[in-house]
Amino acid sequence: MPTGAAQTKPSPHVQRKRRKRRAEILHAALRAFRTKGYHATTLDDIADDLGVRKTALYHYFPDKETILYECHREALGEIKRLMKEAQKLDTAEERLAHVIQEHVRVMTDTLEGSPLAFEVPALSGRRQAQVIAARDRYEGELRQIIDDGIKSKEFRPVDSKLAAFAILGAINWIARWYQPEGPLQGSELGAEFADYLVGGLSNARACDEIPDEMESSS
């Protein structure tokens, strides 16, 4: 029993409509953030995209920052899902390729070329901490995949932390140059990125295995 009031519950059909509207707002915001950045985006910018006055937005979100935060929540959900998928795969190389490919595809195809990684500092206090924690978790898992690959000799022995940062940087930066109307499909882009960024770690190439006699010191 929350704030106990006799509110006639919102009805099932109207709820779906409201949800849809919320999503539309979030995506309009995402588009605006991508081109101008969060701080340079006004509520009017977002509202104009929907053919509405800015005050209408306040029926769905209490303030501007919450809009950004909800965008983050949606994105983090996708990220979490894709990482879970990846964990089912057998080799580190497959896992890493899947993460890169899907991360790129989600950004481009379902998140308006998500510029969210750019806007974490715009969140304040508790929310920023939450998003950073989730991001750190993701980075840690990505790093783990790389370390696993190194241990299994699939990858060269690089600094997994830096490699993870490099990979995420390359991916996040896509928001800066990707054009949804352009000829490049998100999945192709993802495949190319996975190829380049994984190839950079893969030790086994066209040539056969390299014997590992150097690290047996005794």
Partner DNA sequence: TCAAATTTCTACCCGTCGTTCAGTTTGTCG
Partner DNA sequence: CGACAAACTGAACGACGGGTAGAAATTTGA
Residues that bind its own copies (CB under 8 A): 35-37, 39-40, 117-118, 121-122, 156, 158-159, 162-163, 165-174, 176-177, 189, 192-193, 195-197, 199-201, 203, 205-208, 210
CB-wise, 121 or 169, nearer to DNA? Answer: 121
CB-wise, 69 or 193, nearer to DNA? Answer: 69
The distance of closest approach from Cβ of residue 22 to its own copies in the complex, given in angstroms and rounded to an integer, is: 26
CB-wise, 5 or 206, nearer to its own copies? Answer: 206
Q: Which residues are 155's β-sheet partners?
A: 202
Is residue 36 involved in binding DNA (CB under 7 A)? no
Is residue 44 involved in binding DNA (CB under 7 A)? yes
The distance of closest approach from Cβ of residue 78 to its own copies in the complex, given in angstroms and rounded to an integer, is: 20
Give DSSP secondary structure letters for the chain.
--S---PPP--HHHHHHHHHHHHHHHHHHHHHHHHH-TTT--HHHHHHHTTS-HHHHTTT-SSHHHHHHHHHHHHHHHHHHHHHHHHTSSSHHHHHHHHHHHHHHIIIIISSS--GGGGGGGS-HHHHHHHHHHHHHHHHHHHHHHHHHHHTTSB----HHHHHHHHHHHHHTHHHH--TTSS--HHHHHHHHHHHHHHTTB---SS-PPP--TT---
Q: Which two tokens stand for residue 101?
A: 């490919």
- Report the residue from 48, 49, 65, 192 that binds DNA according to the rule CB under 7 A: 65
Is residue 21 involved in binding DNA (CB under 7 A)? yes
The distance of closest approach from Cβ of residue 55 to DNA in the complex, given in angstroms and rounded to an integer, is: 3
Give the binding-site size for DNA (rule: CB under 7 A).
26
Q: Which does 43 bind (CB under 5 to 8 A by kind): its own copies, DNA, none?
A: DNA
Residue with tokens 């006699």, as numbered in its chain: 213
Is residue 55 involved in binding DNA (CB under 7 A)? yes
Q: Are 193 and 171 in contact (CB under 8 A)?
A: yes
Residue with tokens 């990858």, as numbered in its chain: 155
CB-wise, 10 or 37, nearer to its own copies? Answer: 37
Residues that bind DNA (CB under 7 A): 8, 10-11, 13-14, 17-18, 21, 41-44, 47, 51-56, 58-60, 62-65
